[in-house]
Chains A and B, each alone.
Chain A
Amino acid sequence: MTRSVRLSRISPVLIILGIAITLAIAGEVRPSIYATSVTIGFFSLLALPLGLLYGQGGAISLAQGGFAAVGAFTTAILTVKFGWSPFASLVVSVGLPAILAFVIARPLLRLPELSLALVTISLVMIFKVVFERAERLTGGYNGITGIAPLPIIGVERSYAHWTVWTAVLIVAYCYASYVESGRGRALNAIRVDRLLAESTGTNVALELSSLFSLSAGIAGFAGWFYAHYIGFMAPDSLDPTLSANILFMVVLGGRKSVLGPIVGASLFTLASDLLPGTVTQGMIFGSLLIVILVFFPDGIVSPGMMRWTRRRATTIPEAKNTPGVRLERA
């Protein structure tokens, strides 16, 4: 039993490592692939903690992109305007969104899903107005240019690839370990039924605010990395649409599994690379999203075992060969 548990924790990590290595090999052959792989990694970093918060804990957030923007602007301001080293600013880039999230979390996370979604997206819009208006710090609409590349990593794409994918691997490992621990069980109970979670001794507010804060901190890290990698940060770089897209990645990829957010991030990146034209892209993209949300609400990757057991218990024996069952198996 212990062995199988450990295996189920390690296997998603191995799959992700496989993806990262494959992308790196492809990147060595065609360097442009590195650009794609760094983008996928960046999105995955934002989507994974949201997968833990929403898929396991049931608390939705449309603010991941906003917290990434906070992290990115923080390092841009500190390094460009105040001459800090990127590693000193990293602490603030991670800490500021994390603390901010923790402080605002308590009134927020009591809210039911729908209002939580609307409140978090409102937060991102407020962030954006602040970025646009605090011109002396953020450069207003024009943003901040000339953010220095990170030492060692520099502008070398393969280094950037490995930096961001190492972070993804670590986050994915932590996610998988957490879900399998007793605390993960309590988190699952919060999603299923808050009264159940409280009545079995879980401090729901604390549990969710810590996770909300943690996901904001990881988003801050991703933003920090983004700012130094791109070298430029403006209010439009990481805008409210990104926050919505991150949630879409989680839902479409599969909010209940570790791999889901990463699959979602990959599909999103590939889709925006491969779909024609920027103007008509929204139409194709949006329609695809609607189709998947309506027909595959659990997303692409859903825990296989769970799906099987649910089927076994809900289908009555004589219904075994009805088309419905076959349809769902396929």
Chain B
Amino acid sequence: MAFVEFGLNGIFLGAVFGLLALAIAVVWMTTDVVDVATGSYAAAAGMVAVWAGPPWGALLGILAATALSGTMGVIFLIFRRLGATRDTILIVLCTIAYTFVIESALQSVFGTDNRFFPSVPGAFDVAGVFLTFQGVFAFLLAVVLLAGLLAALRWSPAGLLMRASAISAKSASLTGIPVRRVQFVVFLLGGAIAGVAGVLASMSIGVSYSSGFALSIVAFSGAVVLGRVTVSLAFTGGLLIGLAIALGQAYLPQGWDAATAPILIVAVLCSGLVSRDMFHGARP
């Protein structure tokens, strides 16, 4: 029973990581950039939400995250405008530097405490397995968001543009799709999703100014762990990482669970499971 309880709570925790992995994956697929600052958008969303308080704080937090990722989007566009053939790795370094900026800003505004947004109260038990409403809420919200995103990608005109730009930015731009604008919108979208994840995180595990980087690493491991990078696989990967971390917390000696995500990244990427094309920007 204890195992099932840890497992389910892990998956509920994984909903947060799943959303973050999703945010990383959409930006990655459309722009070839792994946005290392994604976790920081989430941390910012959580901190702002706590500061503004319920109920509107949550919305404000998500807006803040979107604004931050939008700024990154602008930086990305300037970078591409200045040199279309430049090495993508430089813009990834920019996102790392951006992490420093956000961390430092959060620290100087909100201080160093780990902060919590009021969570959904209550708990229940099913056949001896003890679960919180907060966990169920986070999970359901995440699944609804995922379904909405998948539906939008599948059926909406904007989704079509996004998919076209993801398959090949060059051919998409040749067919008249405003690829740069689409990429900018995807940055905003990624920030908004990360914002939701951040508010959910502040309702359960709490967020601090320095949560961002660790969240990004966990989310990235979720995005790649299933081998292929797609929207739904990234989300599922995030859930699995949540599960792995929860089981690690329960059964590993204290503190070692922090190594779960990085170990998975090293193992998955070195085994060559993830298609190389994802990393090249080699798609013509």
| Residue among B75, B213, B256, B270 with the highest chain A CB neighbour number at 10 A | B270
Asked if A282 is at the interface of the complex by the 8 Å CB criterion, the answer is yes
Given A110-B272, A133-B253, A289-B97, the answer on whether A60 and B89 have CB atoms closer than 8 Å is yes
Asked if B158 is at the interface of the complex by the 8 Å CB criterion, the answer is no
Q: Which residues of B contact A286 (CB under 8 A)?
A: 97-101, 104
A122 & B93 in contact (Cβ 8 Å cutoff): no
Give bound CA distance, A285 to B276, whole Å.
Answer: 33
B101 & A282 in contact (Cβ 8 Å cutoff): yes
Asked if B136 is at the interface of the complex by the 8 Å CB criterion, the answer is no
Asked if B217 is at the interface of the complex by the 8 Å CB criterion, the answer is yes
Chain B interface bracket (under 10, 10 to 19, 20 to 34, 35 or more): 35 or more
A293 & B259 in contact (Cβ 8 Å cutoff): no
> Which residues 161-203 of B have a CB within 8 angstroms of A?
none
Given A114-B279, A280-B108, the answer on whether A294 and B94 have CB atoms closer than 8 Å is yes
> What residue in chain A is nearest B282 (Cβ atoms)?
A112
Give bound CA distance, A253 to B79, whole Å.
Answer: 19
A279 & B108 in contact (Cβ 8 Å cutoff): yes
Given A294-B75, A294-B82, A297-B83, the answer on whether A111 and B104 have CB atoms closer than 8 Å is no
> What residue in chain A is nearest B279 (Cβ atoms)?
A112
A282 & B258 in contact (Cβ 8 Å cutoff): no
A111, A240, A293, A294: which contacts B269 (Cβ < 8 A)?
A111
> What residue in chain A is nearest B252 (Cβ atoms)?
A133
B104 & A279 in contact (Cβ 8 Å cutoff): yes
B220 & A118 in contact (Cβ 8 Å cutoff): yes
- Whole-angstrom distance from the CB of A248 to the nearest CB of chain B? 7
A115, A248, A285: which contacts B274 (Cβ < 8 A)?
A115
Q: Which residues of B contact A129 (CB under 8 A)?
A: 255-256, 258-259, 262
A111, A248, A295: which contacts B270 (Cβ < 8 A)?
A111
Asked if B266 is at the interface of the complex by the 8 Å CB criterion, the answer is yes
A294 & B79 in contact (Cβ 8 Å cutoff): yes
Given A111-B270, A114-B88, A244-B96, the answer on whether A119 and B104 have CB atoms closer than 8 Å is no
Asked if A207 is at the interface of the complex by the 8 Å CB criterion, the answer is no
A115 & B98 in contact (Cβ 8 Å cutoff): no
A283 & B104 in contact (Cβ 8 Å cutoff): yes
Cβ-closest 5 pairs across A and B: A282-B104, A286-B101, A122-B262, A286-B100, A289-B97
